[in-house]
Amino acid sequence: MRRKDDEKQRCIKIAVVQLILEEGFQGTSISKIAKAAGVSPATVYIYYENKETMLREIYREYSEDAIQYLLQCLSPNMVGEEIIAELIRRYYFFILENKEVFHFIEQFSTCPVLQSSCGSMKGPADLNQLLTDLKKQQILNNFNNDNLYAILFAPVKMIAVKSCESENIAMERLDELIYIIQKALLKDF
């Protein structure tokens, strides 16, 4: 059996994201991925059993990375306002700094095949635990975690993907959004 090479695998992942965004799931084949990654189709199969498995694994990895990116900025001594502001700002900057990965995650976030294995993911479990803990500590209003997640992150996408706005306008809108969300979610705001 051939040995795995981290650089080849990284090239394969980049090729997958680019091709899926350009050509969609049906238009992307193992041979196209291999060509874009500069490897042979046989090399792709060293890393991934098939296209579906490949997408699932790449989706899981990038989703985990995104959530860990959000959570790593938090510290135990932060108050509720700071936690909300940091989560929202981090998500905004994650989108700007990782546009292709963000769009890949978004494209597949509602795909049943990929979502079926998300229950075992550490990132979503950590985020859910954070929200649950903040409710137990009487920092957040006692809303369903799915609703909290939607309120915290969905509006941020609207600001981050509007490329026609200046950075100053985007920052003003982000600050206003943070205030609105803090007011809506925090118990004593």
pLDDT tens for residues 93-143? Answer: 999 999 999 999 998 877 766 555 555 678 888 999 999 999 999 999 999
d(CA 156, CA 151): 9
Provide the number of structural domains found in the chain.
2
35-75 pLDDT, tens digit each: 999 999 999 999 999 998 999 899 999 999 999 999 999 99
pTM of the model as a whole: 0.87
Q: At 20, which CATH number?
A: 1.10.10.60
Task: Select from 40, 22, 23 the least CA-distant residue to 31.
Answer: 40
Neighbours of 170 (CB within 10 A): 16
In a domain, 53, yes or no: no
Co-location of 157 and 84 in the same domain: yes
Where do we find the tokens 């579906």?
Answer: 52
The range of the structural domain enclosing residue 31 comes to 1-48
Query: What is the Cα–Cα distance from 57 to 34, expressed in whole angstroms?
Result: 17
